[in-house]
Structure 1
Amino acid sequence: MRCLRPLRTEVGLVVALGTFTLFFFFNLHMSPPTCPGLKEPPSTPLALVWPSPPPSRPLSSSCQANASMASLPDFAKQPQHIRNFLLYKHCRDFVLLQDVPPDKCAQPVFLLLVIKSSPSNYERRELVRRTWGHERQVHGFLVRRLFLVGTDPNPLEALKVNRLLAMEAQMHGDILQWDFYDSFFNLTLKQVLFLQWQETRCTNASFVLNGDDDVFAHTGNMVTYLQGHNPDHHLFVGHLIHNVGPIRFPWSKYYVPKVVMEDEHYPPYCGGGGFLLSRFTATALRRAARTLDLFPIDDVFMGMCLKREGLEPASHSGVRTAGVQVPSSRLSSFDPCYYRELLLVHRFLPYEMLLMWDALSQPNLSCGKRTQIY
Protein backbone atom coordinates (compact mmCIF):
# COMPACT_ATOMS: atom_id res chain seq x y z
CA MET A 1 0.00 0.00 0.00
CA ARG A 2 1.13 3.51 -0.67
CA CYS A 3 0.25 6.46 1.49
CA LEU A 4 -1.22 8.72 -1.15
CA ARG A 5 -4.63 10.27 -1.18
CA PRO A 6 -7.23 7.75 -2.30
CA LEU A 7 -8.66 7.66 -5.77
CA ARG A 8 -12.06 9.10 -5.12
CA THR A 9 -15.07 9.89 -7.31
CA GLU A 10 -17.27 12.33 -5.48
CA VAL A 11 -20.77 12.83 -6.73
CA GLY A 12 -22.68 15.83 -5.48
CA LEU A 13 -26.35 16.65 -5.84
CA VAL A 14 -27.15 20.33 -5.82
CA VAL A 15 -30.69 21.66 -5.71
CA ALA A 16 -30.74 25.23 -7.01
CA LEU A 17 -32.96 27.60 -5.09
CA GLY A 18 -36.27 28.11 -6.83
CA THR A 19 -35.70 25.24 -9.27
CA PHE A 20 -35.63 21.48 -9.30
CA THR A 21 -32.47 21.37 -11.41
CA LEU A 22 -30.25 18.47 -10.48
CA PHE A 23 -26.70 18.09 -11.58
CA PHE A 24 -23.76 15.91 -10.82
CA PHE A 25 -20.16 16.87 -10.51
CA PHE A 26 -17.07 14.76 -10.25
CA ASN A 27 -13.86 15.46 -8.49
CA LEU A 28 -11.23 13.00 -9.68
CA HIS A 29 -7.96 12.44 -7.84
CA MET A 30 -5.56 10.35 -9.88
CA SER A 31 -3.50 8.78 -7.08
CA PRO A 32 -4.40 5.17 -6.32
CA PRO A 33 -6.22 4.19 -3.09
CA THR A 34 -3.82 3.34 -0.37
CA CYS A 35 -3.58 4.30 3.27
CA PRO A 36 -5.82 1.98 5.28
CA GLY A 37 -5.99 4.57 8.02
CA LEU A 38 -7.92 7.03 5.90
CA LYS A 39 -11.52 6.65 6.97
CA GLU A 40 -13.46 9.00 4.76
CA PRO A 41 -17.21 8.55 4.46
CA PRO A 42 -18.27 7.20 1.10
CA SER A 43 -19.80 9.87 -1.07
CA THR A 44 -20.45 7.65 -4.09
CA PRO A 45 -24.01 6.38 -4.58
CA LEU A 46 -24.58 2.67 -4.83
CA ALA A 47 -24.84 2.83 -8.60
CA LEU A 48 -21.24 4.06 -8.81
CA VAL A 49 -19.43 1.83 -6.32
CA TRP A 50 -16.13 0.34 -7.46
CA PRO A 51 -16.30 -3.11 -8.95
CA SER A 52 -15.01 -5.88 -6.73
CA PRO A 53 -11.39 -6.95 -7.29
CA PRO A 54 -10.80 -10.23 -9.12
CA PRO A 55 -11.69 -13.33 -7.11
CA SER A 56 -8.98 -14.38 -4.68
CA ARG A 57 -9.86 -18.08 -4.70
CA PRO A 58 -6.59 -20.02 -5.01
CA LEU A 59 -5.95 -22.17 -8.07
CA SER A 60 -5.34 -25.51 -6.44
CA SER A 61 -7.34 -28.67 -6.78
CA SER A 62 -5.78 -29.93 -3.55
CA CYS A 63 -7.22 -27.09 -1.48
CA GLN A 64 -10.92 -27.21 -0.79
CA ALA A 65 -13.11 -24.44 0.55
CA ASN A 66 -13.69 -24.28 4.29
CA ALA A 67 -17.48 -24.43 4.16
CA SER A 68 -17.79 -23.56 7.85
CA MET A 69 -16.86 -19.97 7.01
CA ALA A 70 -20.28 -19.54 5.40
CA SER A 71 -21.85 -19.64 8.86
CA LEU A 72 -19.98 -16.53 10.04
CA PRO A 73 -22.11 -13.44 10.77
CA ASP A 74 -22.78 -11.34 7.67
CA PHE A 75 -20.81 -13.72 5.44
CA ALA A 76 -23.50 -13.72 2.74
CA LYS A 77 -23.57 -9.91 2.66
CA GLN A 78 -19.89 -9.57 1.81
CA PRO A 79 -18.46 -8.89 -1.67
CA GLN A 80 -17.33 -11.99 -3.52
CA HIS A 81 -13.63 -11.39 -2.97
CA ILE A 82 -14.17 -11.18 0.80
CA ARG A 83 -16.13 -14.43 0.80
CA ASN A 84 -13.45 -16.11 -1.29
CA PHE A 85 -10.74 -14.95 1.08
CA LEU A 86 -12.57 -16.40 4.08
CA LEU A 87 -13.32 -19.69 2.33
CA TYR A 88 -9.73 -20.25 1.22
CA LYS A 89 -7.52 -18.38 3.69
CA HIS A 90 -6.37 -21.69 5.20
CA CYS A 91 -4.69 -22.63 1.89
CA ARG A 92 -0.92 -22.20 2.04
CA ASP A 93 0.52 -25.04 -0.03
CA PHE A 94 0.76 -24.44 -3.76
CA VAL A 95 2.67 -25.96 -6.62
CA LEU A 96 5.75 -23.97 -7.63
CA LEU A 97 5.31 -23.52 -11.39
CA GLN A 98 8.55 -21.63 -12.01
CA ASP A 99 11.66 -21.80 -9.85
CA VAL A 100 15.05 -20.12 -10.06
CA PRO A 101 18.30 -21.98 -10.77
CA PRO A 102 19.91 -23.69 -7.76
CA ASP A 103 22.91 -21.36 -7.99
CA LYS A 104 20.85 -18.20 -7.40
CA CYS A 105 22.17 -18.03 -3.84
CA ALA A 106 25.22 -20.26 -4.26
CA GLN A 107 27.42 -17.34 -3.30
CA PRO A 108 26.61 -15.26 -0.21
CA VAL A 109 24.07 -12.63 -1.27
CA PHE A 110 24.30 -9.25 0.42
CA LEU A 111 21.02 -7.81 -0.90
CA LEU A 112 18.24 -9.93 -2.37
CA LEU A 113 15.75 -7.90 -4.39
CA VAL A 114 12.34 -9.55 -3.94
CA ILE A 115 9.83 -7.90 -6.24
CA LYS A 116 6.09 -8.59 -6.29
CA SER A 117 4.77 -8.58 -9.84
CA SER A 118 1.54 -9.47 -11.62
CA PRO A 119 1.78 -12.09 -14.42
CA SER A 120 1.14 -9.66 -17.28
CA ASN A 121 3.56 -6.95 -16.07
CA TYR A 122 6.29 -7.97 -18.49
CA GLU A 123 7.38 -4.41 -19.33
CA ARG A 124 7.84 -3.52 -15.68
CA ARG A 125 9.94 -6.62 -15.02
CA GLU A 126 12.11 -5.91 -18.07
CA LEU A 127 12.79 -2.34 -16.99
CA VAL A 128 13.66 -3.45 -13.46
CA ARG A 129 16.13 -5.95 -14.94
CA ARG A 130 17.71 -3.26 -17.10
CA THR A 131 17.94 -0.63 -14.37
CA TRP A 132 18.09 -0.83 -10.57
CA GLY A 133 17.34 -4.57 -10.41
CA HIS A 134 20.35 -5.55 -12.51
CA GLU A 135 22.21 -8.43 -10.81
CA ARG A 136 25.73 -7.24 -10.09
CA GLN A 137 28.35 -6.36 -7.51
CA VAL A 138 27.63 -3.05 -5.80
CA HIS A 139 30.60 -1.69 -3.85
CA GLY A 140 31.87 -5.26 -3.84
CA PHE A 141 28.63 -6.76 -2.48
CA LEU A 142 26.48 -9.21 -4.46
CA VAL A 143 22.95 -8.13 -5.42
CA ARG A 144 20.48 -10.75 -6.67
CA ARG A 145 16.91 -10.47 -8.01
CA LEU A 146 13.63 -12.41 -7.78
CA PHE A 147 10.09 -11.74 -9.01
CA LEU A 148 7.15 -13.20 -7.07
CA VAL A 149 4.21 -14.06 -9.32
CA GLY A 150 0.94 -15.98 -9.15
CA THR A 151 -1.35 -17.09 -11.99
CA ASP A 152 -3.86 -15.04 -13.93
CA PRO A 153 -7.46 -15.71 -12.78
CA ASN A 154 -8.64 -15.83 -16.41
CA PRO A 155 -7.82 -19.32 -17.79
CA LEU A 156 -7.34 -18.05 -21.35
CA GLU A 157 -5.05 -15.24 -20.23
CA ALA A 158 -3.20 -17.66 -17.96
CA LEU A 159 -2.27 -19.79 -20.98
CA LYS A 160 -0.47 -16.80 -22.48
CA VAL A 161 1.18 -15.32 -19.43
CA ASN A 162 2.27 -18.68 -18.03
CA ARG A 163 4.13 -19.28 -21.28
CA LEU A 164 5.59 -15.78 -21.06
CA LEU A 165 6.76 -16.40 -17.50
CA ALA A 166 8.29 -19.72 -18.52
CA MET A 167 10.27 -17.91 -21.21
CA GLU A 168 11.40 -15.26 -18.72
CA ALA A 169 12.40 -17.92 -16.23
CA GLN A 170 14.50 -19.71 -18.85
CA MET A 171 16.13 -16.50 -20.05
CA HIS A 172 16.69 -14.67 -16.76
CA GLY A 173 16.34 -17.26 -13.98
CA ASP A 174 14.50 -14.81 -11.74
CA ILE A 175 10.85 -15.98 -11.66
CA LEU A 176 9.17 -17.61 -8.67
CA GLN A 177 5.61 -18.47 -9.73
CA TRP A 178 3.07 -20.37 -7.68
CA ASP A 179 -0.24 -21.87 -8.74
CA PHE A 180 -2.64 -19.44 -7.07
CA TYR A 181 -4.70 -16.56 -8.41
CA ASP A 182 -2.65 -13.37 -8.53
CA SER A 183 -4.89 -10.78 -6.88
CA PHE A 184 -4.63 -7.99 -4.34
CA PHE A 185 -5.94 -10.14 -1.50
CA ASN A 186 -3.45 -12.89 -2.35
CA LEU A 187 -0.39 -10.68 -1.96
CA THR A 188 -0.01 -12.06 1.55
CA LEU A 189 0.41 -15.50 0.01
CA LYS A 190 3.38 -14.19 -1.96
CA GLN A 191 5.02 -13.00 1.24
CA VAL A 192 4.41 -16.26 3.11
CA LEU A 193 5.43 -18.52 0.23
CA PHE A 194 8.60 -16.53 -0.39
CA LEU A 195 9.58 -16.81 3.28
CA GLN A 196 9.05 -20.57 3.07
CA TRP A 197 11.10 -20.77 -0.13
CA GLN A 198 13.91 -18.68 1.34
CA GLU A 199 14.23 -20.98 4.36
CA THR A 200 15.69 -23.74 2.23
CA ARG A 201 16.95 -21.94 -0.86
CA CYS A 202 18.47 -18.59 0.12
CA THR A 203 19.17 -18.42 3.84
CA ASN A 204 22.55 -16.78 3.24
CA ALA A 205 21.02 -13.51 1.98
CA SER A 206 22.08 -10.87 4.49
CA PHE A 207 19.32 -8.40 3.62
CA VAL A 208 16.12 -8.32 1.56
CA LEU A 209 14.41 -5.53 -0.31
CA ASN A 210 10.73 -6.43 -0.50
CA GLY A 211 8.94 -4.19 -2.99
CA ASP A 212 6.60 -3.71 -5.93
CA ASP A 213 7.52 -3.72 -9.61
CA ASP A 214 6.64 -0.05 -10.06
CA VAL A 215 9.10 1.42 -7.57
CA PHE A 216 12.41 3.05 -8.35
CA ALA A 217 15.10 1.76 -6.01
CA HIS A 218 18.56 3.23 -5.65
CA THR A 219 20.35 -0.03 -4.92
CA GLY A 220 23.72 1.66 -4.52
CA ASN A 221 22.37 3.79 -1.68
CA MET A 222 20.74 0.72 -0.13
CA VAL A 223 23.99 -1.21 -0.08
CA THR A 224 25.78 1.77 1.48
CA TYR A 225 23.10 2.07 4.16
CA LEU A 226 23.01 -1.66 4.92
CA GLN A 227 26.78 -1.90 5.31
CA GLY A 228 26.31 -0.22 8.67
CA HIS A 229 23.98 -2.95 9.96
CA ASN A 230 24.41 -6.47 11.24
CA PRO A 231 22.27 -8.94 9.25
CA ASP A 232 21.89 -11.05 12.40
CA HIS A 233 20.18 -8.20 14.25
CA HIS A 234 16.65 -6.91 13.78
CA LEU A 235 16.09 -4.52 10.86
CA PHE A 236 12.79 -3.63 9.25
CA VAL A 237 12.62 -0.12 7.76
CA GLY A 238 10.45 1.70 5.26
CA HIS A 239 7.58 4.17 5.21
CA LEU A 240 6.16 3.70 8.71
CA ILE A 241 2.38 3.67 9.13
CA HIS A 242 0.81 3.61 12.58
CA ASN A 243 -2.33 4.60 14.46
CA VAL A 244 -4.59 3.38 11.68
CA GLY A 245 -7.13 0.61 11.41
CA PRO A 246 -9.33 -1.31 8.98
CA ILE A 247 -11.40 0.59 6.45
CA ARG A 248 -15.02 -0.47 6.86
CA PHE A 249 -16.41 1.01 3.64
CA PRO A 250 -17.18 -1.64 0.98
CA TRP A 251 -16.27 0.74 -1.86
CA SER A 252 -12.63 0.80 -0.76
CA LYS A 253 -9.93 -1.45 -2.21
CA TYR A 254 -8.81 -1.93 1.40
CA TYR A 255 -12.21 -2.84 2.78
CA VAL A 256 -11.87 -5.18 5.74
CA PRO A 257 -15.20 -6.08 7.37
CA LYS A 258 -15.53 -7.14 11.00
CA VAL A 259 -16.12 -10.70 9.88
CA VAL A 260 -12.45 -10.64 8.82
CA MET A 261 -11.09 -8.51 11.69
CA GLU A 262 -12.95 -7.26 14.76
CA ASP A 263 -10.15 -5.09 16.08
CA GLU A 264 -10.23 -1.43 15.06
CA HIS A 265 -6.46 -0.97 15.15
CA TYR A 266 -3.61 -2.29 13.04
CA PRO A 267 -0.16 -2.75 14.54
CA PRO A 268 2.55 -0.45 13.19
CA TYR A 269 3.77 -1.56 9.77
CA CYS A 270 5.68 -0.31 6.73
CA GLY A 271 3.94 0.41 3.44
CA GLY A 272 4.22 -2.52 1.03
CA GLY A 273 5.64 -0.47 -1.83
CA GLY A 274 9.07 -1.23 -0.47
CA PHE A 275 10.88 -2.03 2.79
CA LEU A 276 14.24 -3.45 3.85
CA LEU A 277 14.75 -6.26 6.33
CA SER A 278 17.60 -8.35 7.69
CA ARG A 279 17.87 -12.14 7.60
CA PHE A 280 17.31 -12.13 11.38
CA THR A 281 13.97 -10.42 10.85
CA ALA A 282 13.09 -12.64 7.89
CA THR A 283 13.50 -15.66 10.17
CA ALA A 284 11.27 -14.02 12.79
CA LEU A 285 8.60 -13.23 10.18
CA ARG A 286 8.70 -16.81 8.93
CA ARG A 287 8.25 -18.14 12.45
CA ALA A 288 5.34 -15.81 13.21
CA ALA A 289 3.60 -16.39 9.86
CA ARG A 290 3.20 -20.06 10.71
CA THR A 291 1.19 -19.20 13.82
CA LEU A 292 -1.09 -16.47 12.44
CA ASP A 293 -4.15 -16.65 10.24
CA LEU A 294 -3.56 -15.01 6.88
CA PHE A 295 -4.73 -11.42 6.62
CA PRO A 296 -5.71 -9.98 3.22
CA ILE A 297 -3.58 -6.80 3.42
CA ASP A 298 -0.01 -8.03 3.02
CA ASP A 299 1.94 -5.18 4.61
CA VAL A 300 -0.41 -5.14 7.60
CA PHE A 301 0.17 -8.89 7.91
CA MET A 302 3.93 -8.23 8.07
CA GLY A 303 3.22 -5.80 10.92
CA MET A 304 1.20 -8.48 12.68
CA CYS A 305 4.10 -10.90 12.35
CA LEU A 306 6.53 -8.36 13.79
CA LYS A 307 4.21 -7.75 16.72
CA ARG A 308 3.92 -11.48 17.39
CA GLU A 309 7.72 -11.64 17.61
CA GLY A 310 7.99 -8.58 19.86
CA LEU A 311 9.67 -6.55 17.10
CA GLU A 312 8.84 -3.14 15.65
CA PRO A 313 9.13 -1.59 12.19
CA ALA A 314 11.05 1.65 11.81
CA SER A 315 10.86 4.67 9.55
CA HIS A 316 13.51 5.59 6.99
CA SER A 317 13.33 9.02 5.39
CA GLY A 318 14.84 7.65 2.19
CA VAL A 319 11.85 5.41 1.48
CA ARG A 320 9.17 7.48 -0.24
CA THR A 321 6.21 5.24 -1.00
CA ALA A 322 4.09 8.41 -1.24
CA GLY A 323 6.33 9.79 -3.95
CA VAL A 324 8.50 12.91 -3.94
CA GLN A 325 6.99 16.32 -3.24
CA VAL A 326 8.96 19.41 -4.22
CA PRO A 327 8.59 22.79 -2.54
CA SER A 328 7.25 24.61 -5.60
CA SER A 329 4.93 23.80 -8.49
CA ARG A 330 7.47 25.49 -10.74
CA LEU A 331 9.97 22.72 -10.05
CA SER A 332 9.88 19.28 -11.63
CA SER A 333 9.48 16.39 -9.20
CA PHE A 334 11.30 14.26 -11.77
CA ASP A 335 14.60 16.08 -11.28
CA PRO A 336 17.23 13.36 -10.61
CA CYS A 337 18.84 15.58 -7.98
CA TYR A 338 15.86 14.92 -5.71
CA TYR A 339 16.40 11.17 -6.02
CA ARG A 340 20.13 10.64 -5.81
CA GLU A 341 20.18 10.44 -1.98
CA LEU A 342 16.98 8.39 -1.57
CA LEU A 343 16.59 4.62 -1.24
CA LEU A 344 13.22 4.00 -2.89
CA VAL A 345 10.40 5.98 -4.49
CA HIS A 346 6.97 4.79 -5.52
CA ARG A 347 5.48 4.88 -8.14
CA PHE A 348 7.16 4.93 -11.53
CA LEU A 349 6.01 4.10 -15.04
CA PRO A 350 8.43 1.83 -16.93
CA TYR A 351 9.76 4.60 -19.18
CA GLU A 352 10.23 6.89 -16.16
CA MET A 353 12.27 4.19 -14.46
CA LEU A 354 14.60 4.02 -17.45
CA LEU A 355 14.94 7.80 -17.67
CA MET A 356 15.71 8.18 -13.96
CA TRP A 357 18.22 5.34 -13.97
CA ASP A 358 19.98 6.88 -16.95
CA ALA A 359 20.02 10.34 -15.37
CA LEU A 360 21.44 9.10 -12.07
CA SER A 361 24.05 7.05 -13.89
CA GLN A 362 25.55 10.09 -15.62
CA PRO A 363 29.02 10.78 -14.19
CA ASN A 364 28.63 14.52 -14.86
CA LEU A 365 25.35 14.92 -12.94
CA SER A 366 25.60 18.29 -11.21
CA CYS A 367 23.03 19.31 -8.66
CA GLY A 368 24.52 22.13 -6.64
CA LYS A 369 22.31 23.26 -3.80
CA ARG A 370 18.78 21.91 -3.94
CA THR A 371 15.77 22.93 -1.89
CA GLN A 372 14.83 20.19 0.53
CA ILE A 373 12.09 17.80 -0.60
CA TYR A 374 9.24 16.79 1.67
Structure 2
Amino acid sequence: MTYNCVVDFVFKGDDDGFVYPPAIVKYLKRTPNVTSYVHGNLRVHSKVFRKGKYQISRHLYSMNVLPTFVSGGGFIIPGILIPSLYRAATVLPVFPLDDVYFGFLAIKANVILKHGHGFYCFGLKFDACKYRNALIVHNIIENSAKGISPRTLLNVWGKVIKQKNCKEV
Protein backbone atom coordinates (compact mmCIF):
# COMPACT_ATOMS: atom_id res chain seq x y z
CA MET A 1 0.00 0.00 0.00
CA THR A 2 1.34 3.47 -0.85
CA TYR A 3 0.15 6.94 -0.07
CA ASN A 4 0.87 10.14 -1.93
CA CYS A 5 1.01 12.97 0.54
CA VAL A 6 3.35 15.85 -0.07
CA VAL A 7 4.13 18.09 2.91
CA ASP A 8 7.20 20.08 3.83
CA PHE A 9 6.96 19.32 7.56
CA VAL A 10 4.77 17.54 10.09
CA PHE A 11 4.51 18.81 13.64
CA LYS A 12 3.68 16.20 16.29
CA GLY A 13 2.64 17.68 19.59
CA ASP A 14 0.68 16.78 22.68
CA ASP A 15 -2.67 18.47 23.12
CA ASP A 16 -1.64 20.07 26.40
CA GLY A 17 1.27 22.09 25.07
CA PHE A 18 1.63 25.70 24.01
CA VAL A 19 2.76 26.01 20.37
CA TYR A 20 3.78 29.30 18.76
CA PRO A 21 3.67 28.81 14.96
CA PRO A 22 5.65 31.99 14.07
CA ALA A 23 8.57 30.68 16.16
CA ILE A 24 8.39 27.34 14.33
CA VAL A 25 8.53 29.08 10.96
CA LYS A 26 11.55 31.17 12.05
CA TYR A 27 13.29 28.06 13.37
CA LEU A 28 12.75 26.18 10.12
CA LYS A 29 13.96 29.10 8.00
CA ARG A 30 17.16 29.67 9.97
CA THR A 31 18.21 26.04 10.58
CA PRO A 32 20.81 24.68 8.13
CA ASN A 33 19.94 21.37 6.46
CA VAL A 34 16.54 21.54 8.14
CA THR A 35 15.07 18.68 6.08
CA SER A 36 17.84 16.26 7.06
CA TYR A 37 16.77 15.70 10.67
CA VAL A 38 13.82 15.31 13.02
CA HIS A 39 13.91 18.30 15.37
CA GLY A 40 12.89 18.33 19.03
CA ASN A 41 14.00 18.04 22.63
CA LEU A 42 16.51 15.21 22.38
CA ARG A 43 16.45 12.67 25.19
CA VAL A 44 19.67 10.66 25.50
CA HIS A 45 20.37 7.85 28.00
CA SER A 46 16.94 8.11 29.62
CA LYS A 47 16.36 5.62 32.39
CA VAL A 48 13.65 2.98 31.92
CA PHE A 49 10.93 3.28 34.54
CA ARG A 50 9.82 -0.04 35.95
CA LYS A 51 7.01 1.44 38.07
CA GLY A 52 4.46 4.21 37.67
CA LYS A 53 2.67 5.81 34.74
CA TYR A 54 5.53 5.28 32.25
CA GLN A 55 6.56 1.82 33.40
CA ILE A 56 8.00 -0.70 30.97
CA SER A 57 8.32 -4.35 32.00
CA ARG A 58 11.62 -6.18 31.67
CA HIS A 59 9.80 -8.70 29.50
CA LEU A 60 8.94 -5.97 26.99
CA TYR A 61 12.29 -4.14 27.16
CA SER A 62 15.17 -5.68 29.09
CA MET A 63 17.69 -2.83 28.89
CA ASN A 64 17.93 -0.15 31.61
CA VAL A 65 18.37 2.78 29.21
CA LEU A 66 16.05 3.83 26.39
CA PRO A 67 17.24 4.56 22.86
CA THR A 68 17.72 8.21 21.97
CA PHE A 69 14.37 9.85 21.18
CA VAL A 70 12.76 13.27 20.89
CA SER A 71 10.40 14.16 23.70
CA GLY A 72 6.78 13.59 22.76
CA GLY A 73 5.73 17.04 23.95
CA GLY A 74 6.41 18.24 20.42
CA PHE A 75 8.76 17.66 17.51
CA ILE A 76 9.05 18.45 13.80
CA ILE A 77 9.45 15.83 11.06
CA PRO A 78 10.55 16.89 7.56
CA GLY A 79 8.12 15.49 4.99
CA ILE A 80 10.94 13.93 3.02
CA LEU A 81 11.65 11.57 5.97
CA ILE A 82 8.06 10.33 6.33
CA PRO A 83 8.30 7.43 3.80
CA SER A 84 11.29 5.82 5.52
CA LEU A 85 9.65 6.23 8.95
CA TYR A 86 6.44 4.74 7.56
CA ARG A 87 8.34 1.71 6.22
CA ALA A 88 9.96 1.25 9.63
CA ALA A 89 6.53 1.37 11.27
CA THR A 90 5.33 -1.50 9.08
CA VAL A 91 7.93 -3.86 10.58
CA LEU A 92 8.44 -2.65 14.18
CA PRO A 93 5.87 -3.62 16.79
CA VAL A 94 4.24 -0.74 18.63
CA PHE A 95 5.86 0.33 21.90
CA PRO A 96 3.69 1.76 24.70
CA LEU A 97 5.51 5.12 24.90
CA ASP A 98 4.92 7.01 21.64
CA ASP A 99 8.05 9.16 21.77
CA VAL A 100 10.27 6.19 22.59
CA TYR A 101 8.60 4.22 19.79
CA PHE A 102 9.46 7.09 17.46
CA GLY A 103 13.08 6.71 18.61
CA PHE A 104 12.98 3.05 17.58
CA LEU A 105 11.48 4.06 14.22
CA ALA A 106 14.25 6.61 13.67
CA ILE A 107 16.91 3.96 14.34
CA LYS A 108 15.27 1.50 11.95
CA ALA A 109 14.77 4.18 9.27
CA ASN A 110 18.29 5.57 9.71
CA VAL A 111 16.86 9.00 10.52
CA ILE A 112 18.90 11.42 12.63
CA LEU A 113 17.29 13.17 15.58
CA LYS A 114 18.50 16.69 16.36
CA HIS A 115 18.13 18.73 19.52
CA GLY A 116 16.59 22.09 18.73
CA HIS A 117 16.53 25.22 20.85
CA GLY A 118 13.00 26.28 21.71
CA PHE A 119 11.49 22.85 22.43
CA TYR A 120 10.61 23.19 26.12
CA CYS A 121 9.17 19.79 26.90
CA PHE A 122 9.68 20.01 30.65
CA GLY A 123 8.22 23.42 31.23
CA LEU A 124 9.22 27.05 31.06
CA LYS A 125 8.29 29.65 33.65
CA PHE A 126 5.83 32.01 32.01
CA ASP A 127 7.20 35.14 30.40
CA ALA A 128 5.35 36.37 27.30
CA CYS A 129 8.59 37.17 25.43
CA LYS A 130 10.13 33.77 26.20
CA TYR A 131 6.95 32.10 24.96
CA ARG A 132 7.03 34.14 21.72
CA ASN A 133 10.46 32.60 21.05
CA ALA A 134 9.45 29.06 22.11
CA LEU A 135 8.34 26.49 19.56
CA ILE A 136 6.60 24.28 22.11
CA VAL A 137 6.12 24.57 25.85
CA HIS A 138 4.86 21.34 27.31
CA ASN A 139 3.98 21.70 30.98
CA ILE A 140 4.05 25.24 32.23
CA ILE A 141 6.21 25.01 35.35
CA GLU A 142 3.45 26.22 37.69
CA ASN A 143 1.19 23.43 36.35
CA SER A 144 3.76 20.73 35.51
CA ALA A 145 2.09 17.91 37.45
CA LYS A 146 -1.21 18.36 35.63
CA GLY A 147 -0.20 19.50 32.15
CA ILE A 148 -1.70 22.63 30.66
CA SER A 149 -5.48 23.03 30.73
CA PRO A 150 -7.30 24.48 27.71
CA ARG A 151 -8.25 27.53 29.80
CA THR A 152 -4.59 28.11 30.74
CA LEU A 153 -3.52 27.71 27.10
CA LEU A 154 -6.04 30.35 26.00
CA ASN A 155 -4.89 32.69 28.77
CA VAL A 156 -1.22 32.22 27.84
CA TRP A 157 -1.97 32.65 24.11
CA GLY A 158 -3.79 35.93 24.77
CA LYS A 159 -0.84 37.32 26.75
CA VAL A 160 1.74 36.16 24.20
CA ILE A 161 0.05 37.66 21.13
CA LYS A 162 -0.44 40.99 22.91
CA GLN A 163 3.26 41.22 23.82
CA LYS A 164 5.02 43.24 21.12
CA ASN A 165 8.40 44.43 22.43
CA CYS A 166 10.38 41.22 22.62
CA LYS A 167 13.98 40.59 21.70
CA GLU A 168 14.23 37.82 19.10
CA VAL A 169 16.44 34.89 19.99
The answer, yes or no, to whether TM exceeds 0.5 is yes
The answer to whether 1:281 aligns with 2:84 is no
The 5 Å alignment of 1:342-357 reads: 342-347=134-139, 348-357=148-157
Structure showing greater radius of gyration is 1
In 1, the alpha carbon distance for the partners of 2:9 and 2:33 equals 6
Equivalent residue number for residue 150 of structure 1: none
The answer to whether 1:311 aligns with 2:111 is yes
Q: What is the CA deviation profile of residues 236-258 of structure 1, one whole-angstrom value per residue up to 9, with x for unaligned ones?
A: 11111111242223xx1111111
The answer to whether 1:253 aligns with 2:45 is no
The answer to whether 1:321 aligns with 2:115 is no
* Higher relative contact order (CA closer than 8 Å, sequence separation 6+): 2
The answer to whether 1:366 aligns with 2:168 is no
In 2, the alpha carbon distance for the partners of 1:228 and 1:365 equals 21
Contact residue 37 and residue 111 of structure 2 kept, 8 A: no
User: Which residue, out of 231, 237, 240, partners 2:39?
Assistant: 237
Contact residue 16 and residue 149 of structure 2 kept, 8 A: yes
Contact residue 231 and residue 280 of structure 1 kept, 8 A: no
Give the residue type in structure 1 aligned to 2:53.
Answer: K
More helix by share: 2
What secondary structure sits across from 2:133 in the alignment? coil
Give the residue type in structure 1 aligned to 2:129.
Answer: C
Give the residue type in structure 2 aligned to 1:335.
Answer: D
In 2, the alpha carbon distance for the partners of 1:208 and 1:235 equals 12
Contact residue 11 and residue 75 of structure 2 kept, 8 A: yes
Change (3 A) 1:305 1:289: same
Change (3 A) 1:275 1:232: closer
Q: CA deviation at 1:341?
A: 1.0
In 2, the alpha carbon distance for the partners of 1:259 and 1:367 equals 50
The answer to whether 1:300 aligns with 2:92 is no
In 2, the alpha carbon distance for the partners of 1:231 and 1:200 equals 25
Aligned residues: 161
Q: CA deviation at 1:361?
A: 2.0
- Alignment gaps of 5+ in structure 1: 1-195, 325-332
In 2, the alpha carbon distance for the partners of 1:274 and 1:245 equals 20
Q: CA deviation at 1:340?
A: 1.2
Q: CA deviation at 1:367?
A: 4.5
Give the residue type in structure 2 aligned to 1:344.
Answer: I
Q: CA deviation at 1:262?
A: 1.9
Q: CA deviation at 1:334?
A: 2.3
Q: What is the CA deviation profile of residues 246-293 of structure 1, one whole-angstrom value per residue up to 9, with x for unaligned ones?
A: 2223xx111111111123332100111110110122222111111111
Q: What is the CA deviation profile of residues 77-102 of structure 1, one whole-angstrom value per residue up to 9, with x for unaligned ones?
A: xxxxxxxxxxxxxxxxxxxxxxxxxx
Equivalent residue number for residue 91 of structure 1: none
Give the residue type in structure 2 aligned to 1:262.
Answer: S
What secondary structure sits across from 1:280 in the alignment? helix
Q: CA deviation at 1:229?
A: 6.0
User: Which residue, out of 128, 133, 141, partners 1:336?
Assistant: 128
- Alignment gaps of 5+ in structure 2: 140-147
